[in-house]
Amino acid sequence: MSIRKPSSALVLRSLLVPFLCVLATQADAQSTWTAGWATRGMVVSDCGLASEAGVSILESGGNAADAAAATAFALAVTFPAAGNIGGGGFALVHKADGGDAALDFREVAPNAAHRDLYLDEQGKVVNGLSTDTHLAAGIPGSVDGLLRLHEDHGSGLVDRAQVLAPAIRLARDGFPLSFWAAYVLNAYRGKLETDEAARRIFLRGDGQLWQPGDVLKQPDLADALERISQQGRDGFYKGVTAELWVEEMERGNGIATLEDLAGYDSKYRDPVRGEFRGYEILSMSPPSSGGILVLQLLEIMDGFPLEEWEWNSSSYVHAFAEACRRVYADRAEHLGDPDHWEVPVPGLLDPEYLEARMADMSLERATPSTAVSSGTPTPREPDETTHFSVVDKEGNVVSCTTTLNARFGSGIVVDGTGILLNNEMDDFSAKPGVPNLYGLVGNEANAIAAGKRMLSSMSPTIVLHDGHPRLVLGSPGGSRIITSVAQVILNHLVFEMPIAQAVAVPRVHAQWLPDRVYYEPFGMALDTRKRLEELGHELAEMEEIGRVNAIEVQPNGFYAGPDVRGGGASAGY
Ligand code: GLY
């Protein structure tokens, strides 16, 4: 029997009535319980088992950072499509005492990488080189970043072995596949069977499709996690795992070396900050474009009569698409790794600059993207994925997004480790104007260079009110991350939707190029779509736009916003 995913429109519709509590209905079948509301701690992730791993750490005295590290390591096992130790990510931390940190554990280009890495002798981009091969992998940052998150921001009451224990157990003993996990493995069977090591792990031995409840065991991954548990970062970036990684590279004409791995270092950045209707928005700074673009979109949208227009009206979608056109054009020109490119952060966020960017927008017609180029913010000063959100009883919160880029990364497993290679190098601009997996184009700011971090759209975000967390959120989805996060914030803060509804309702997306407005099924009525077409927008349906996992913090407790577009599941206590 094959497993079909139900249309997300059906799932969404079925969930629009009981907004709160018992919402994670499409969560993992094996999950013993889910929480729509909790008072002492909560984790919302793409997998119930990973959320529970985080909550078990909270229950044993750990704080949000300890729980976030445990959740991420568990996701590397239970959600191999995006959870990882072979990729990278960003974590945004807000401490109950008021301190904030933005931890960048994005992958970096190997030292032998160069700007023409993916071009043939004629200077044309070679199809698939930056996505499906050993050359597609950046040097992974997840292990360094997650260990640093635990060491620098953890409670001190939970040691490294405790943080890694749930992941090791899930990998060694195996875990029953949820409906969604089985669906994703089956859907990507074609990709996974092309690599021998991936085929052995991620395809059923008898050649049949996975069924919910089948147990997936990953003993090599358990050993790799065990080495991290015992030796810390050296258990990954040096020794057996590093040697197997480099052997894998040599087998597949990759370029990463032992020196590349040993030299990886996660970094602290200043989070980007903005204000929106009395709330402080804290988000990820370059090398993510996400935080800046989310703040730009909110600032621009605040200039329109949103309540009068109403949610997802033609005027609302028109203004949102026009704003997207302009901010994504800026992304292509101005955003890149801040250690290699001067990103004009204050200029891009300057309200006067944004007002000027929108000055040529008409309420009566769409601006063709060919008529939009990047602006000149002044001055240039000191730019498949999974998101989870964590809160603890003290009021510490972590918003964390990690990625392998495409689902299952390159689809190649480092033989003997169970670790999937990321294909994050595709997030660089292989050649000016040539779109990547997400249709994003870029220029010099995001050109490939040795040791450089590729530009991201990941937008782990925290919304504060009077210094206290109100929302913790983020999303996977490449370029769609930014528009998903911005819309959930607008849904909640402007249209006053409870978080579960703010996450569940259909979303739209636009990004300069391609010159098109995407909408989810049931996202817009026919007359709204007709009006947008009259304004000059080209429309296209897209099954899923982002997969936001959020938490709303209220005085009486934490409310879950797991995304029903995937396996979003909350756990709390
Ligand atoms: N790999 C998707 C992103 O970082 O934006």
pLDDT tens digits, 253-286: 999 999 999 999 999 999 999 999 999 999 999 9
Specify the 3-state DSSP secondary structure of 469: strand
Q: Of all protein residues, whose CA lies closest to atom 2 belonging to ligand 1? A: 478
Decide if 385 is catalytic: yes
Domain 269-384+459-572 has CATH 3.60.20.40: yes
C-alpha 184/C-alpha 216 separation (Å) is: 13
Structure token digits, residue 314: 């033609």
| Cα 105 to ligand 1 centre (Å) | 12
Q: What DSSP element (H or E) covers 100?
A: strand 100-105
| Beta carbons of 72 and 145 less than 8 angstroms apart | no
**Residue boundaries of the structural domains of the chain:** 49-264+391-446, 269-384+459-572
* Per-residue pLDDT at 28: 40
| CA dihedral of residues 296, 551, 481, 534 (deg, nearest 10) | -70
| Beta carbons of 527 and 387 less than 8 angstroms apart | no
CA end-to-end span of the chain: 37
Distances in Å between the Cα of 342 and the Cα atoms of 264, 274, 381, 478, 502 are 22, 20, 6, 23, 35
**pLDDT of the chain along its 573 residues, tens only?**
334 444 443 333 333 323 333 333 333 433 334 569 999 999 999 999 999 999 999 999 999 999 999 999 999 999 999 999 999 999 999 999 999 999 999 999 999 999 999 999 999 999 999 999 999 999 999 999 999 999 999 999 999 999 999 999 999 999 999 999 999 999 999 999 999 999 999 999 999 999 999 999 999 999 999 999 999 999 999 999 999 999 999 999 999 999 999 999 999 999 999 999 999 999 999 999 999 999 999 999 999 999 999 999 999 999 999 999 999 999 999 999 999 999 999 999 999 999 999 999 999 999 888 888 776 664 333 237 999 999 999 999 999 999 999 999 999 999 999 999 999 999 999 988 888 887 788 888 999 999 999 999 999 999 999 999 999 999 999 999 999 999 999 999 999 999 999 999 999 999 998 999 999 999 999 999 999 999 999 999 999 999 999 999 999 999 999 998 998 999 999
* Cis ω for the linkage preceding 271 (within 30 of 0): no
C-alpha 414/C-alpha 170 separation (Å) is: 19
Phi, psi for 344 (deg, rounded to 5): -80, 70
Would the CB of 427 count as within 6 Å of ligand 1? yes
Which atom of ligand 1 is nearest the CA belonging to 403?
1
Q: What DSSP element (H or E) covers 51?
A: helix 48-59
Would the CB of 385 count as within 6 Å of ligand 1? yes
Would the CB of 403 count as within 6 Å of ligand 1? yes
Name the residue of 285, 405, 423 whose CB sits within 8 Å of the most ligand 1 atoms, as the mutation to test its pocket: 405
Is 127 exposed, middle or buried, given 0-12, 13-18 or 19+ CB atoms closer than 10 A? exposed
Would the CB of 478 count as within 6 Å of ligand 1? yes
- What is the helix, strand, coil percentage profile of the chain, to 5? 35, 15, 45
Instruction: Of 142, 100, 65, give the one whose Cα is nearest residue 398.
Output: 65
| Cα 289 to ligand 1 centre (Å) | 10
Q: Where are the beta strands (DSSP E) in 224-289?
A: 267-269, 272-276, 279-283
